[in-house]
Structure 1
Amino acid sequence: MLRLIHTSDWHIGQSLRGHGREREHRAVFADLCRLVVEQAADALIIAGDVFDSQNPSGEALRLLYETLRDLHAARPAMTMVVVAGNHDAAGRLEAPRDLLRAFNVHVVGNVRRQEGLVDSRRHLVPLRDAGGSVAAHVLALSYPTAACLPGLTRLEETGGGESQIVRAVRQLYAEMLDAVRDQVAGCPLIATGHLHVAGGLESEGAERRILVGGQHAVPPDVFPAEIAYVALGHLHRAQDLGGGRVRYSGSLFPLSATELGYAHGVTLVTLDGTRVATEHLPLARPVPFLRLPEQGELRLSELGAALQALVTRLALPPDLAVEQQPFVQVRLAREGLGSGFREEADRLAEALPLRLVEARAAPLAQPAPLVVADPLKPLSDHAAEDLFRLAFAARQQRDPDEAEMAVFHQVQALAAAEG
């Protein structure tokens, strides 16, 4: 039996609205060191986005190397596999690979080939169980750049509606499997990936659409059925796909306000012969991340009192160190809200021991469907002014006033003059 911890999307060096996250990273990394001991982990996989930037600072680099050192000290026999994500510079990440091997850390950046064939020695990592026997292998693949994808020449739809990008990703994993099949010798095979798999729930504004050519996602069946478990990175919500064989471990703590409701942590993977079981291991948040109000919205005029009440309820001392202050996300009622509401929210929060990271207005109501008097009548037979009035009312839930109609007529006159 082999016990593996799957984690991803560390984003070391990240800041949230100007606030550094190093203290939080150090806290969750200390928890991770505790977990690998408690769970008697034989292996640890970091499935990409180790750093938040392709040009990480010296402090971020130092934090990574200190963490790998501490993990090795906590569990010396544990094999660690690190792959590059879209936020990482693959060459920079794997530059110290030979040095890191002394700590049983295997770093894999871009796909390596020799004479056109995959260099399987760079991508296949054996995993040993508590008795020292090879119990599984990791097929380590990073974020698939254009250079990594075989036969990628132009973007087009292929037979069956599958895009060339999806076909290239599918071919990449099949090629990798063919290259290592003889070396695996019947042991379970684990693959890594850093990309968006169709069906995965993404965080609003937090994860880029990263595949080449704007292709958003690949189906779960791009990973060959012979692979026992696919350890994914990129999406920050922990979630299963493909019946549980394919999984995102998620990020370690909220990286944006949209992740406030996520259950952050790591995944424990247990391989017993051909049987694979997974368990989500939650991690405590180093600092609170709160929504105000918990449900619904409040008026801007109520925000100051609500922030002060939150400080009182949490018993936050006025001299609380900035890196220990809670993050707060605010939802405001749209009615009567002026264009400078974010600046006013910041002003109300600046003297309090908390960090306001988002003040957002309630979303607009869904517009009513546009209904014309005679839907069978061509649009060209309707007066433009009538269509504008209908569209405005559907969107804004009211009729346009005289000033708004004047603007419409000005635009209409300009359009007529140009054409």
Structure 2
Amino acid sequence: MIRVLHTGDWHIGQTLRGYSREHEHALVFDALVTLVAEREVDALVMAGDVFDSQNPSGEAQRQFYELLVRLHRARPGMTIVVTAGNHDAAGRLEAPRALLDAIGVHVVGNVRRPGGAIDLSRHLVPILKDGVVAGHVLGVSYPTAACLPGLAAGRVRDEAGSPIVRAVRDLYAALHEAARPELAGLPYLVTGHLHVAGGLESEGAERRILVGGEHAVPPDVFPSDADYVALGHLHRAQGVGRPIVRYSGSLIPLSATELAYRHGVSFVTIGDGPARSEHVVIDRPVPFLRLPDTGDMPLGELGDRLAALDLDPELPLEARPFLQIRLSRDGLAASHRAEVDRIAEGFPVRVVDVRVASVEGIVPDLVQAGVPTVRLVERDPEDLFRLAFARAHGIDPGPAHLDIFHRARAGA
């Protein structure tokens, strides 16, 4: 049996409305180090978006490398696999590879094909247990255009379906085929950093990331032989499509839309039957509150509600709760945000999101049903096509309709 800690989307160096998250990252990383020791973890898999920026600050990089050393000291025999996400500069992440290999850290960046063949040594990482290879991790980072086979040359353009999805499928197939001779029937874990269709995303927090304006791939792009697929990119912990295909979610809420998430990591056991996963919640190091708890309120109530929180006025800035405020529209002045800031200034809170109730009668059906709003530019074109087709014809589009849609889209 192999014990794996699956995590992702750390976004080290992130700021929220100008407020640093360094203090929160330090505390959740403490929890991560404790977990690997308590759970006797054999492999830690980080599924992308180590940093929030492709040009992270020196302080963000220091926090990352110090964490890797602490994880190694907590479990010297543990294999650590770190993959690049869309927020990371893969080359920068891979640069200290020779040093990181010495402490069991394997960093996976862009796909390389010297002489046309995939350099498997950069992707297939053995999991050692008591000095013996007990399993493998096939590490795959965010698939850039350069990583996708045949896409640049247009070889997938004339085929049915999405050329981007087909290129991602081909990438995983090629990596799996190259890895197959090395697997020797041992437990096998695959990673990915992308949006898998059916996954629930948080409004405004996760970018639509695949090239060509597409962002979602079906769960069957991953090898069917894999015991578990460790995903990154979506910040909500969730399974997608198959029980073994899972997002661990982020360690802390990265936007106000993630207030209700139960952030943490996935603890996975493989090698003794079907993979088993457990979502381990990590306590939120700083409260993230919503005023009011439900519905909205007049601006005039804000001061009383802040006072009712009964917070210690001496709280240091980094420990002050983040706050989302929901205001009713009635009688609200255009300068309401400045008034919110003026009122909140007298309390130990950090206001990061102020929302005004939508005008009744013009809110889309999905919003009235409680689904978070998403800007049109963030909607998947296929989702919009399915919605329009169903409204026009009263039935969902079939495979033939979707085939025509994807052909038209590919030629656009």
TM bracket, shorter-chain basis:
0.7 to 0.9
Correspondence for 1:58: 58
1:213-254: CA deviations, max 9, x gaps? 100200001112111111000000000012211100000011
Contact 2:110 2:147 in 1 (8 A): yes
How far apart, in 2, do the equivalents of 1:351 and 1:173 lie? 54
1:24-69: CA deviations, max 9, x gaps? 0000000000000111100000000000000000000000000001
- Relative to structure 1, the CA distance from residue 158 to residue 273 in structure 2 (aligned partners, 3 Å threshold; closer, same or farther) is farther
Correspondence for 2:205: 206
Correspondence for 2:48: 48
The equivalent position to 2:338 in structure 1, one of 325, 338, 343, is: 343
**Aligned residues: percent identity?**
62
How far apart, in 1, do the equivalents of 2:246 and 2:361 lie? 34
Deviation at 1:159, TM superposition (A): 4.7
* Greater mean alpha carbon deviation, residues 53-62 or residues 216-225: 216-225
Correspondence for 1:14: 14
Secondary structure, in 3 states, of the residue corresponding to 1:244?
strand
Contact 2:156 2:167 in 1 (8 A): no
* Greater mean alpha carbon deviation, residues 253-262 or residues 332-341: 332-341
Contact 2:219 2:242 in 1 (8 A): no
Correspondence for 1:323: 318
Amino acid at match of 2:338: E
Aligned residues: CA RMSD: 1.5
How far apart, in 1, do the equivalents of 2:316 and 2:156 lie? 54
**TM-score when normalising by structure 2:** 0.86
- 1:309-388 mapped onto 2 (5 Å cutoff): 309-310=308-309, 312=310, 316-367=311-362
Secondary structure, in 3 states, of the residue corresponding to 2:294?
coil
Say yes or no: does 1:29 pair with 2:25. no
Deviation at 1:188, TM superposition (A): 2.0
Correspondence for 2:177: 178
Contact 1:6 1:267 in 2 (8 A): yes
Contact 2:150 2:156 in 1 (8 A): no
Correspondence for 1:39: 39
Secondary structure, in 3 states, of the residue corresponding to 2:230?
strand
Correspondence for 2:404: none
**TM-score when normalising by structure 1:** 0.84
1:370-399: CA deviations, max 9, x gaps? xxxxxxxxxxxxxxxxxxxxxxxxxxxxxx
Give unpaired runs (5+ residues) of structure 1.
Answer: 370-419
Amino acid at match of 2:93: L
How far apart, in 1, do the equivalents of 2:155 and 2:123 lie? 27
Correspondence for 2:268: 269
- Relative to structure 1, the CA distance from residue 119 to residue 17 in structure 2 (aligned partners, 3 Å threshold; closer, same or farther) is same
1:309-344: CA deviations, max 9, x gaps? 22x2xxx22221000101111111112222221221
How far apart, in 1, do the equivalents of 2:229 and 2:98 lie? 26
Contact 1:155 1:213 in 2 (8 A): no
Amino acid at match of 2:40: A
Correspondence for 1:197: 196
Contact 1:13 1:52 in 2 (8 A): yes
Deviation at 1:155, TM superposition (A): 9.9
Q: Which has the larger radius of gyration?
A: 1
Deviation at 1:366, TM superposition (A): 4.2
- Relative to structure 1, the CA distance from residue 222 to residue 345 in structure 2 (aligned partners, 3 Å threshold; closer, same or farther) is same
How far apart, in 2, do the equivalents of 1:273 and 1:91 lie? 36
Correspondence for 2:240: 241
- Relative to structure 1, the CA distance from residue 337 to residue 150 in structure 2 (aligned partners, 3 Å threshold; closer, same or farther) is same
Report the number of matched residues. Answer: 363
Say yes or no: does 1:123 pair with 2:123. yes
- 1:213-228 mapped onto 2 (5 Å cutoff): 213-228=212-227
Correspondence for 2:166: 167
Secondary structure, in 3 states, of the residue corresponding to 1:365?
coil
* Greater mean alpha carbon deviation, residues 345-354 or residues 8-17: 345-354
- Relative to structure 1, the CA distance from residue 261 to residue 179 in structure 2 (aligned partners, 3 Å threshold; closer, same or farther) is same
Amino acid at match of 1:70: R
Correspondence for 1:393: none
- 1:27-106 mapped onto 2 (5 Å cutoff): 27-106=27-106
Contact 2:124 2:137 in 1 (8 A): yes
Amino acid at match of 1:211: L
How far apart, in 2, do the equivalents of 1:232 and 1:273 lie? 22
Deviation at 1:368, TM superposition (A): 8.5
How far apart, in 2, do the equivalents of 1:345 and 1:291 lie? 14
Contact 1:2 1:128 in 2 (8 A): no
